[in-house]
Amino acid sequence: MKIVCICNLKVLLAALIVLSATSAHAQINPTQWKEDLDFLEQTIKTKHLDSFENITEEEFTKEVTQLRSRIDTLEDFEVSLEMVRIVGTIGWGHTRLSLPVNGDHLGFYQGHSGTSSDSRISSFSVLPIRFFLFKDGLFVQSASEDYKNYIGYKVIAFGPVSVTEVLDRVRPYMSVENESAFRLQAPIRLSIIELLYTLRLTNSLKRISLTLENEGISKEITVEPIGFDQNPKWFDIHSLKSITKPLWLTGTHSGMWDLVDSKHFWDSEKQYYWSTFLEDGKIQYVKINHLDDPYGGIPVAGFMKQTIDSAIYNNADKIVIDLRHNMGGSNDVNRSILLALARWEKSKYYGNVFAIIGRHTYSAAIMLAQMLEENIQVAFIGEETGGKPANIGDSRKFRLPNSQLTLRVSTLRHHDWVRTDRPSIYIHYPIPFYSQEYFTGIDPVLNWIRSNPIQGLSDVLFDVYVNAGFRSMRNILNKYLSDPDTYTVDFEDAALKVADYILNIKNNNQRAQWMYQYILWYYPESRNSIIGYILSSHRLEDSSAAQEGIEYLEKLYPNDPEIARLQRLLKD
């Protein structure tokens, strides 16, 4: 009898264990999904600041209504993905619905801050492969041991669908503000098997075929996803082939972004920031991964003081602030970084302070970039940031009542100091990221800074105008002219080079006329500026201004042979 009881007890215990395991990820019924959808709709409409700037309320309501009518026919993962798509229509990166994927799982990136995955629906499965979108295409950048030999291969197709078409299909399933954020998130989303199934790239949740290419040879492979709790050994190109990592990837594991997703992120002060002096190029290199004062560690203000002291001690020619892993943090510490750099004597002159930004530079890091852009001479280099300078952020978290999925809604507007809707901080020196550079351990951005000393205001203003536009060029010039230590800089020839380019190459007569007037304000006898003003006025059919220009040229340079030519031009 006792034996029977013990056996029954074992059976009961086993049943309870199974029940417990399944209830944690049990399916929820259509009625519960509709309750979640109603909660999502009302939360966005009532808690989100200015919800409908990128989509009308009518369009949003229509999307919700259409999903509600289909819920009875959809699987849990399909409902989740449809809600992700609907939230994405709001158009702000801080506003998103997090998928039930383990955020710490092999460096899987979902957003700029972590989200626990304790939802009540089955967790999504991911491929044992991570992709990255380089300038020259989509590549396998890291993988588990079973697929490590494919690291460095170019991805040609998912199933029968080309990568170009795949990227178009996945675009609606992300909350992004610009193309740079899309280039970051799209490759990561493409490792979710449920999403690949929804995009009709595979007809199975257990496998997908990929067409890869290496050295001109194509190969089709079948990849099976790994579960939420599986933890296979992981490789990137550096661990696979013993390639030395470039400096900016110090502290990363299993690929490019694991540094910022590791559950151990807060264990070390050096994961927040660190600095070193590079004799090659006389560069004080500063890596800032997170904007906050580490618990029990040196605060940002103290760290930046040490950094500037090191730059002075080593007589550094440049300070490089690398924000490529910086997803944000607290804006409160940004002032410490700005003040430290502003008090470095060499920061008054353009080309001595560089800020490296990229697709992972986000949130408070974008606000730091804006502060630097507005207040000191800083050269921005790299890729566009992962969000807009003007945005709605500071998201609040809400849990959907039944599925327990995490919804973030943005609550605070952040303004851009240049008062535009630009997609990113202006890039003065855009450096595209090619696959060969990553797979051979090269940092093209730091190499560019080392090998391209910026000398001469003429090249600076022209290069920045061509690469980043008029506002950036003018911002650099204004900083020189408004600084008591640099206001005497001679910029006539540099500004003329830009003005002539605007007039003769860009054919922007209005802006060219303004530029020549600007030069003449500071250099009233600038002969070439007067001539440029006359020509731009003539092209604008502003005969009065053109004639005034000729009269002014005659007054200053009565024997100038250009006067007769310009008079004939006006008559014609």
Buried b (16+ CB within 10 A) or exposed e, 44-65: beeebeebbeebeeeebeebbe
Q: 519: burial class by Cβ within 10 Å (0-12, 13-18, 19+)?
A: buried
Least confident of 6-20, 36-50, 543-557: 6-20
| Residue carrying structure tokens 């110090």 | 250
- Distances 143 to 140, 190, 273 between C-alpha atoms, Å: 7, 14, 28
Q: 565: burial class by Cβ within 10 Å (0-12, 13-18, 19+)?
A: exposed
Cβ neighbours of 28 (radius 10 Å): 19
User: Residues of the chain with pLDDT > 90: what percent?
Assistant: 82
Confidence at residue 6, expressed as pLDDT on a 0 to 100 scale: 40
Q: Which two tokens stand for residue 193?
A: 């098997």
**CA geometry: angle at 479 spanning 473 and 482, to 5°?**
135
Confidence band for 254, pLDDT divided at 50, 70 and 90: low
86-137, pLDDT tens digit by residue?
Answer: 999 999 999 999 988 865 555 555 555 555 555 667 788 999 999 999 999 9
Q: Name the average pLDDT for the chain.
A: 90
129-179, pLDDT tens digit by residue?
Answer: 999 999 999 999 999 999 999 999 999 999 999 999 999 999 999 999 999
Residue 404 near residue 122, CB atoms below 8 Å? no
| Beta bridge partner(s), residue 275 | 286
| Length in residues, the chain | 572
Residue 291 near residue 368, CB atoms below 8 Å? yes
Residue 248 near residue 324, CB atoms below 8 Å? yes
Confidence at residue 261, expressed as pLDDT on a 0 to 100 scale: 44
**CA geometry: angle at 112 spanning 467 and 330, to 5°?**
90
315-330, pLDDT tens digit by residue?
Answer: 999 999 999 999 999 9
172-198, pLDDT tens digit by residue?
Answer: 999 999 999 999 999 999 999 999 999
Distance between CA atoms of residues 340 and 337, nearest Å: 5
- Distances 292 to 266, 359, 547 between C-alpha atoms, Å: 11, 20, 60
Half-sphere exposure at residue 243, Cβ-oriented, CA atoms within 13 angstroms: 20
SS3 at position 138:
strand
Confidence band for 267, pLDDT divided at 50, 70 and 90: low
Phi-psi region of 318 (alpha: psi -120 to 50; beta: other; left: phi over 0): beta
Asked if pLDDT for residue 410 goes beyond 70, the answer is yes
Residue 281 near residue 450, CB atoms below 8 Å? yes
Distance between CA atoms of residues 145 and 233, nearest Å: 6
Q: 270: burial class by Cβ within 10 Å (0-12, 13-18, 19+)?
A: middle
Distance between CA atoms of residues 285 and 429, nearest Å: 18
Confidence at residue 260, expressed as pLDDT on a 0 to 100 scale: 46
Please give the helix or strand (H or E) that residue 140 lies within, else none: strand 137-144
SS3 at position 492:
helix
Confidence at residue 24, expressed as pLDDT on a 0 to 100 scale: 36
Asked if pLDDT for residue 14 goes beyond 50, the answer is no
Distance between CA atoms of residues 25 and 123, nearest Å: 7
Q: Taking Cα atoms as reference points, which of 73, 35, 84 lies closest to residue 400?
A: 35
Distance of CA 108 to the CA centre of its chain: 17
End-to-end Cα distance, the chain = 118
417-465, pLDDT tens digit by residue?
Answer: 999 999 999 999 999 999 999 999 999 999 999 998 887 898 999 999 9
How confident is the model over 397-414, as a mean pLDDT?
95
Distance between CA atoms of residues 110 and 46, nearest Å: 25
Confidence at residue 119, expressed as pLDDT on a 0 to 100 scale: 61
Confidence at residue 384, expressed as pLDDT on a 0 to 100 scale: 97
Alpha-carbon radius of gyration of the chain: 29
Q: Taking Cα atoms as reference points, which of 487, 466, 461, 489 lies closest to residue 476?
A: 461
Asked if pLDDT for residue 304 goes beyond 50, the answer is yes
Distance between CA atoms of residues 304 and 339, nearest Å: 9
Provide the Cα torsion 345, 349, 351, 357; round to 10°. Answer: 80
Asked if pLDDT for residue 369 goes beyond 90, the answer is yes
Buried b (16+ CB within 10 A) or exposed e, 310-349: bbeeeebebbbbbbbbbbbbebebbebbbebbeebebbbb
- Distances 537 to 36, 321, 400 between C-alpha atoms, Å: 62, 43, 62
Asked if pLDDT for residue 314 goes beyond 50, the answer is yes
